[in-house]
Protein backbone atom coordinates (compact mmCIF):
# COMPACT_ATOMS: atom_id res chain seq x y z
CA UNK A 1 0.00 0.00 0.00
CA UNK A 2 1.24 3.52 -0.75
CA UNK A 3 2.99 4.79 2.39
CA UNK A 4 1.48 8.28 2.14
CA UNK A 5 -2.01 6.83 1.96
CA UNK A 6 -1.19 4.60 4.93
CA UNK A 7 0.00 7.57 6.97
CA UNK A 8 -3.00 9.69 6.06
CA UNK A 9 -5.40 6.87 6.88
CA UNK A 10 -3.71 6.27 10.24
CA UNK A 11 -3.81 9.96 11.22
CA UNK A 12 -7.38 10.48 10.13
CA UNK A 13 -8.49 7.30 11.86
CA UNK A 14 -6.95 8.41 15.13
CA UNK A 15 -8.32 11.95 14.84
CA UNK A 16 -11.78 10.64 14.06
CA UNK A 17 -12.05 8.27 16.98
CA UNK A 18 -13.59 10.78 19.44
CA UNK A 19 -16.34 11.61 16.94
CA UNK A 20 -17.87 8.22 17.67
CA UNK A 21 -17.76 8.90 21.41
CA UNK A 22 -18.16 12.16 23.33
CA UNK A 23 -16.42 14.62 21.01
CA UNK A 24 -17.59 17.87 22.63
CA UNK A 25 -19.12 19.37 25.74
CA UNK A 26 -21.90 21.97 25.88
CA UNK A 27 -21.18 24.65 28.47
CA UNK A 28 -23.27 27.65 29.56
CA UNK A 29 -21.94 30.87 31.05
CA UNK A 30 -24.75 32.48 33.08
CA UNK A 31 -24.32 35.85 34.78
CA UNK A 32 -26.93 37.14 37.24
CA UNK A 33 -25.72 40.64 37.98
CA UNK A 34 -29.04 41.83 39.37
CA UNK A 35 -30.72 38.90 41.15
CA UNK A 36 -33.28 41.16 42.86
CA UNK A 37 -34.16 42.99 39.63
CA UNK A 38 -34.04 46.37 41.34
CA UNK A 39 -32.78 47.99 38.14
CA UNK A 40 -34.05 47.48 34.61
CA UNK A 41 -33.63 49.42 31.40
CA UNK A 42 -36.16 49.83 28.62
CA UNK A 43 -34.23 48.58 25.61
CA UNK A 44 -35.64 51.01 23.03
CA UNK A 45 -34.59 54.08 25.09
CA UNK A 46 -30.91 53.20 24.87
CA UNK A 47 -30.59 50.94 21.86
CA UNK A 48 -28.44 49.64 20.56
CA UNK A 49 -27.74 48.15 23.98
CA UNK A 50 -25.63 45.09 24.55
CA UNK A 51 -23.45 42.92 26.74
CA UNK A 52 -19.84 42.14 25.92
CA UNK A 53 -18.36 38.82 26.97
CA UNK A 54 -15.23 36.74 26.59
CA UNK A 55 -15.70 33.69 24.40
CA UNK A 56 -14.93 30.41 26.16
CA UNK A 57 -15.72 27.98 23.33
CA UNK A 58 -15.16 27.35 19.63
CA UNK A 59 -18.81 27.86 18.69
CA UNK A 60 -21.84 29.61 20.22
CA UNK A 61 -25.19 27.86 20.14
CA UNK A 62 -27.42 30.30 22.04
CA UNK A 63 -27.50 33.72 23.70
CA UNK A 64 -30.10 34.76 26.26
CA UNK A 65 -31.09 37.83 28.30
CA UNK A 66 -33.40 38.18 31.28
CA UNK A 67 -36.23 40.58 30.48
CA UNK A 68 -39.03 42.33 32.29
CA UNK A 69 -41.32 45.19 31.22
CA UNK A 70 -41.77 48.72 32.46
CA UNK A 71 -44.46 49.46 29.87
CA UNK A 72 -46.85 46.51 29.78
CA UNK A 73 -49.36 48.32 27.54
CA UNK A 74 -46.83 48.88 24.75
CA UNK A 75 -47.01 46.51 21.76
CA UNK A 76 -44.94 43.35 21.91
CA UNK A 77 -42.97 44.23 18.79
CA UNK A 78 -39.92 42.19 17.73
CA UNK A 79 -36.48 42.83 19.13
CA UNK A 80 -33.35 42.09 17.12
CA UNK A 81 -30.31 40.31 18.49
CA UNK A 82 -26.96 40.69 16.74
CA UNK A 83 -23.54 39.28 17.57
CA UNK A 84 -20.48 41.44 16.86
CA UNK A 85 -16.78 40.78 17.15
CA UNK A 86 -15.00 42.85 19.79
CA UNK A 87 -16.43 45.02 22.54
CA UNK A 88 -18.60 47.20 20.32
CA UNK A 89 -22.21 48.01 19.53
CA UNK A 90 -21.50 48.18 15.80
CA UNK A 91 -19.55 46.31 13.17
CA UNK A 92 -19.97 43.31 10.93
CA UNK A 93 -22.70 41.11 12.35
CA UNK A 94 -21.83 37.44 12.80
CA UNK A 95 -25.47 36.62 13.48
CA UNK A 96 -28.85 38.39 13.37
CA UNK A 97 -32.22 37.13 14.62
CA UNK A 98 -35.52 38.79 15.58
CA UNK A 99 -37.71 37.57 18.44
CA UNK A 100 -40.53 38.71 20.73
CA UNK A 101 -41.01 38.53 24.48
CA UNK A 102 -42.91 35.49 25.79
CA UNK A 103 -46.46 35.85 27.07
CA UNK A 104 -45.22 35.25 30.62
CA UNK A 105 -43.87 38.82 30.68
CA UNK A 106 -47.28 40.48 30.79
CA UNK A 107 -47.00 42.93 33.69
CA UNK A 108 -44.46 45.03 35.50
CA UNK A 109 -42.45 42.73 37.75
CA UNK A 110 -42.74 39.69 35.51
CA UNK A 111 -39.34 38.39 34.49
CA UNK A 112 -38.00 35.60 32.29
CA UNK A 113 -34.93 34.59 30.34
CA UNK A 114 -35.34 34.62 26.57
CA UNK A 115 -32.79 32.50 24.69
CA UNK A 116 -32.11 32.82 20.98
CA UNK A 117 -30.62 29.79 19.20
CA UNK A 118 -27.53 30.34 17.06
CA UNK A 119 -26.41 27.95 14.28
CA UNK A 120 -23.08 26.98 15.88
CA UNK A 121 -21.50 30.36 15.11
CA UNK A 122 -17.69 29.95 15.20
CA UNK A 123 -15.79 32.18 17.64
CA UNK A 124 -12.25 32.46 18.99
CA UNK A 125 -11.90 31.36 22.59
CA UNK A 126 -10.55 34.20 24.74
CA UNK A 127 -11.68 36.97 22.37
CA UNK A 128 -14.28 39.64 23.09
CA UNK A 129 -17.75 39.55 21.49
CA UNK A 130 -20.86 41.65 22.08
CA UNK A 131 -24.50 40.56 21.99
CA UNK A 132 -26.46 43.63 20.89
CA UNK A 133 -30.21 44.33 21.12
CA UNK A 134 -32.34 46.83 19.22
CA UNK A 135 -36.06 47.37 19.74
CA UNK A 136 -38.98 49.07 17.97
CA UNK A 137 -41.26 49.20 21.05
CA UNK A 138 -40.71 50.34 24.64
CA UNK A 139 -42.17 47.14 26.09
CA UNK A 140 -38.98 45.13 26.64
CA UNK A 141 -36.67 46.00 29.52
CA UNK A 142 -33.34 44.38 30.38
CA UNK A 143 -32.65 43.44 33.99
CA UNK A 144 -29.20 44.74 34.93
CA UNK A 145 -26.98 44.88 37.97
CA UNK A 146 -25.56 45.38 40.43
CA UNK A 147 -28.74 45.83 42.46
CA UNK A 148 -29.22 49.21 44.08
CA UNK A 149 -31.23 50.64 46.98
CA UNK A 150 -32.34 54.18 46.01
CA UNK A 151 -33.33 55.11 49.57
CA UNK A 152 -29.83 54.51 50.94
CA UNK A 153 -27.73 54.83 47.79
CA UNK A 154 -26.24 51.43 48.56
CA UNK A 155 -25.12 48.92 45.95
CA UNK A 156 -25.94 45.34 46.85
CA UNK A 157 -23.09 43.85 44.89
CA UNK A 158 -20.08 44.59 42.75
CA UNK A 159 -18.98 43.67 39.27
CA UNK A 160 -20.58 40.27 38.70
CA UNK A 161 -18.62 39.48 35.55
CA UNK A 162 -15.06 40.62 34.86
CA UNK A 163 -15.09 39.22 31.31
CA UNK A 164 -17.38 41.90 29.87
CA UNK A 165 -19.73 44.78 30.61
CA UNK A 166 -23.03 46.42 29.74
CA UNK A 167 -22.80 48.77 26.73
CA UNK A 168 -25.35 51.35 25.59
CA UNK A 169 -25.62 54.42 23.39
CA UNK A 170 -26.87 56.69 26.19
CA UNK A 171 -26.09 57.39 29.83
CA UNK A 172 -27.86 54.71 31.84
CA UNK A 173 -26.53 54.87 35.40
CA UNK A 174 -23.42 56.60 36.73
CA UNK A 175 -21.71 53.30 37.53
CA UNK A 176 -22.38 51.99 34.00
CA UNK A 177 -20.09 54.46 32.26
CA UNK A 178 -16.43 54.81 31.42
CA UNK A 179 -13.52 52.95 32.94
CA UNK A 180 -15.46 52.31 36.16
CA UNK A 181 -18.32 50.52 34.38
CA UNK A 182 -19.24 47.61 36.65
CA UNK A 183 -22.68 46.96 35.14
CA UNK A 184 -23.79 43.77 33.45
CA UNK A 185 -27.07 42.47 32.13
CA UNK A 186 -28.50 39.23 33.41
CA UNK A 187 -27.43 37.10 30.48
CA UNK A 188 -26.21 33.68 29.42
CA UNK A 189 -24.21 32.25 26.55
CA UNK A 190 -24.04 28.58 25.57
CA UNK A 191 -21.15 27.17 23.57
CA UNK A 192 -19.48 23.94 22.55
CA UNK A 193 -16.04 23.00 23.85
CA UNK A 194 -14.12 20.03 22.41
CA UNK A 195 -13.20 17.54 25.13
CA UNK A 196 -9.49 17.21 25.98
CA UNK A 197 -9.54 13.67 24.58
CA UNK A 198 -10.53 15.10 21.20
CA UNK A 199 -7.47 17.35 21.07
CA UNK A 200 -5.22 14.58 22.40
CA UNK A 201 -6.31 12.10 19.75
CA UNK A 202 -5.95 14.69 17.01
CA UNK A 203 -2.40 15.47 18.15
CA UNK A 204 -1.57 11.75 18.21
CA UNK A 205 -3.01 11.37 14.74
CA UNK A 206 -1.10 14.26 13.24
CA UNK A 207 2.04 13.18 15.05
CA UNK A 208 1.77 9.76 13.41
CA UNK A 209 1.22 11.43 10.06
CA UNK A 210 4.36 13.55 10.49
CA UNK A 211 6.48 10.53 11.47
CA UNK A 212 5.34 8.46 8.50
CA UNK A 213 5.84 11.35 6.09
CA UNK A 214 9.41 11.82 7.29
CA UNK A 215 9.99 8.08 6.79
CA UNK A 216 8.50 8.33 3.31
CA UNK A 217 10.90 11.15 2.39
CA UNK A 218 13.86 9.07 3.56
CA UNK A 219 12.75 6.02 1.57
CA UNK A 220 12.07 8.04 -1.56
CA UNK A 221 15.34 10.01 -1.46
CA UNK A 222 17.67 10.19 -4.50
CA UNK A 223 19.63 7.03 -5.32
CA UNK A 224 23.44 7.16 -5.03
CA UNK A 225 25.23 5.93 -8.16
Q: What is the DSSP letter of 20?
A: G
- The alpha carbon torsion through 168, 185, 44, 92 (nearest 10 deg) reads 60
Q: What is the largest CA-CA distance in the chain?
A: 96
**Three-state SS for 194?**
strand
Tens place of pLDDT for every residue, the chain, 225 residues? Answer: 444 444 444 444 444 444 444 568 999 999 999 999 999 999 999 989 999 999 999 999 999 999 999 999 999 999 999 999 999 999 989 999 999 999 999 999 999 999 999 999 999 999 999 999 999 999 999 999 999 998 888 999 999 999 999 999 888 888 898 888 999 999 999 999 987 655 455 555 556 555 555 555 555 554 444
Residues ≥6 apart with Cβ < 8 Å to 186: 31, 32, 33, 34, 35, 65, 66, 113, 142, 143, 144, 145
Predicted TM-score (pTM) of this structure? 0.78
Amino acid sequence: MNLFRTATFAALSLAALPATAHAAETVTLEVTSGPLATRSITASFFDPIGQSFTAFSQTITSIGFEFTTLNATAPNSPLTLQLFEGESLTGTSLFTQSFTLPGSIAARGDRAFVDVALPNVPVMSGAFYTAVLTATSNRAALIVGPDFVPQTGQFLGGDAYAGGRLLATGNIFANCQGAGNNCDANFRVTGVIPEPSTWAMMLVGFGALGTLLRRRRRLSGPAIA
